[in-house]
Structure 1
Amino acid sequence: MTARPPAAVATFGRLVELDAKMAHGILRYCDHIVAVVDAAHAGRRLKEILPYAGRDIPVVATIADAHRLGARELVVGASPPGGAADPAMVGEVAAAAGLGMWIVHGLHTRLSRVPELAPYAERIVELRHRPLDERVATGRSASLGGNVVLTVASDCASGKMTAALELWQGLRRRGAAAEFVATGQTGMYIAGGGAPIDAVRSDFTAGVVEELVLDAAAAAPDGYVLVEGQGSILHPAYSGVSLSLLHGSAPNLLVFCHDLGRDQLAYFDQPVVDVAEEIALLERLSVHQRGARVVAVVGVDRGADPATAERSRARLEDRLGLPVVPATAPGFDRLTDLIAEF
């Protein structure tokens, strides 16, 4: 990957919210970020607000502040459900563009077509609108010899990308051939490749996933392909993307991610489906392709009391008969050990 310019991430007062998950992922895995722009938290250090990101960088109030710190790129790091831009976002982007900065975003809105931003279109990188070869799936992923690991979950924003990235890094540290397949805007920004699966026309979603997996498998023959999951197979809004990922990647191994403290779906007034029921459904849906089994569950605790979170994981492990690991470095080490057995 080529060197990236120093960048700032804008979160529009949403830094600690779920809809800033793009910012959270980038801040955790990208070392070229020099500042966060968020007026609601300005004057503090990121490590005080998001300790798990592991970054000691300033949170500033304005784009001009970030520019003075050396940022030459602005990443739009938060968006509402549906990925539409609002006036506050447009204003921040216009300020950055006026300072000569590059803009990177994963919104469904095409910022390059917003009238006040059109003069800066050549410096706007739109991750959800990159050209893709649309193709119908053929089922070829089901014939692969290596391991294809898909991360799945009980809801959106439940750790699927993080688990896939941690497995990718962990397997490579062990000397295994492994490739990461990014399927959303955050993973694409981190990895420098992939495709925005939720922006592909539905007839071609599984086909685009299949091609990504086949390319990754060719780069890691008889190794591991780690596929970033999206949504949940039973989510009332996002299940179509989840099913296309399952069919297009034809995994033989699944890692299930679950937020231990979440009873209701994020942004929806509906309960999270029972984990055991959803795991059984995922395994049943995969049986006519390659056949996949859930190897382990990542139990996300989002800052809960450690003892309480550990008890929740232990209860879930007993009920499922599957390893339930925390979303921490030791937990991901254990998860990597489990996957490396295949």
Structure 2
Amino acid sequence: MSEIHISPSQNGKAPALPMTCLLAALLAACGQAPTAGAPQAPAQLADAPQVVSDLDATQGALRPAAVTDPYTYYNFTGTDGVQTLMSTGEGVCWLAKVGGNLNSNSDYLQVYHSQGQWKLNYHSDSSDPVSGRVYCVKWTAFKTPTVTQPARWISNGFTSIANSCTSFNKDTWWGDAATYISYVGGDVQGIGGVYVSQSTSGSKSSTMTAVACATTSKVYGGAHSLFIGKPSSNDLPQFWGPGGVGVPYSTAYKTGSYRAVSWGPSTVEMAPTDRAFCYLSTLWGDFDAMIDEAKVYRSTNSAGQQVWKLSVYDSNPGGNKGIGAYANCYMLTQY
């Protein structure tokens, strides 16, 4: 039987990666070099959840599309909300859509686990609501044909905060785990956002970076790491990406990350949903209207196949920096 474990972070030092180069270039455009900051816990929210269907926007608890569907999804729109999702013993959840007017240091969307349950928090300081989507996938969807007793571990949350045109880097788990965005908050404008660099070493940390680039703004970032496989093997996770599929020892660096930007292409097709799950690994831009968004979602392509797609939308395309996002797709079969 597989082991399911909620664990603190591994120790390690993150290497320089291509995403780091992108981040450095964006910060140079802002006129500042990265500096360290201090993480800050999110505020507590009142119980006021609004859960709607992924397909028809009707209110109520969500159900999978079919009995055999391993995915569950939750849409939400509002100014305050707390929602319990599924148990950590049943599966893993991630923040698949970030949308709305993120222009206050107190605005945020967050997925986390506590006392064995995945939970969702969101808050907006203004009358303009934030919106988002959470996907969860059951542990039973993952296969490890060469590992008889695989570990299935999910980290605690990693959090960072950036102030006034600075960035703050946070080491996450080593590169033998996949690291994904689970928390976005603050005044997300310009190049401000959350950036994950997936390590290409099984014994060095991936990193998550929050970036702020406005005189008085703060940006909060958060991530979780997922490990499935044989502990201490240093085997790198298998991904599906634009540079290749999940052959043994393929990595996010080799397969590449999917990219969508509001100036085009704004929507890209990614992996089949029965082969991988896809998550946001980086997002940035001008989130200053309710319809602004970056998201991954399931869709049926022209061949009738259900696939993941990455999409962004900017209501003010003539704005400062537009909106952009990267996504990685973690294979459901790991070794």
Report the TM range for the smaller structure's normalisation. Answer: under 0.3
Q: Of Structure 1 and Structure 2, which has the larger fraction of its residues in helix?
A: 1
Q: Which has the larger radius of gyration?
A: 1
Greater RCO (Cα-Cα under 8 Å, separation 6 or more): 2
More strand by share: 2
Using structure 1 for the length normalisation, give the TM-score. Answer: 0.24
* Alignment TM-score, normalising by the size of structure 2: 0.24
